[in-house]
A and B are shown apart, each in its own frame.
Chain A
């Protein structure tokens, strides 16, 4: 089955630790996105990538890092510099960056204690 997979679904970490969220797609999509969802604030863009080996900061990139070494993969690292990391993280992909529907993964709910 083609799709976009995020793992794990739930993740718990201690404060001060870095954590990496996985996002894999087998749709052969060029563009990939990471969003953070908090209650009442919709989806806020963290990073996006239009093509492999390239990515741009979104609106709330501070405290996060990404890589795009492979077309299929766009992992997100939540660093200890992120002041409020507990949130629901959604990864998405689209055929290309210029205006096609985005397909979302199931999301990862990160809780930092």
Chain B
């Protein structure tokens, strides 16, 4: 079945440093979504990527979807303490019997030291 792997599991950075988390799927995806979960909270949607090779930016966050639609990355430039939390990718299969099965990666826990 579809598996979504995310690395690294943990990342500790000094405020102002950059941060990247990577997401890899065992199968081709229809689209990929990214979520952020603050400590003690619930996941909140950040963005969705649909097209092969797509790149989207949200202020200091840059999201990429691989050409083969099997991998993705989230890059944060110049981290701030407000970026603390767990970042999840979530993939949707193209269709078939698993249509609608939104599968999450294990998440990357980001700690930012002031």
Chain A residues packing against B (C-beta within 8 Å) = 31, 33, 35, 40-45, 48, 50, 56, 58-59, 90, 92, 94, 96-107
Contact = CB atoms under 8 A, between A and B. Distances in A.
Contacts of B42: 90, 104-107
B104 A104 contact: no
A36 B76 CA distance: 27
Contacts of A106: 42
Contact of B101 (A40, A45, A100, A105): A45
B104 A43 contact: yes
Contacts, number: 66
Interface of B: 1, 6, 9, 30-31, 33, 35, 42-45, 48, 50, 88, 90, 92, 99-107
B103 to A, nearest CB: 6
A50 B106 contact: no
Contacts of B44: 104
Given A43-B43, A104-B42, A99 B92 contact: yes
Contacts of A103: 45
A43 B45 CA distance: 14
Contacts of A43: 43, 88, 90, 104, 107
Contact of B105 (A40, A42, A104): A42
Contact of A98 (B30, B35, B106): B30
A35 B35 CA distance: 14
B43 A98 contact: no
B100 A58 contact: no
A58 B90 CA distance: 14
Given A90-B43, A99-B30, A107-B42, A42 B101 contact: no
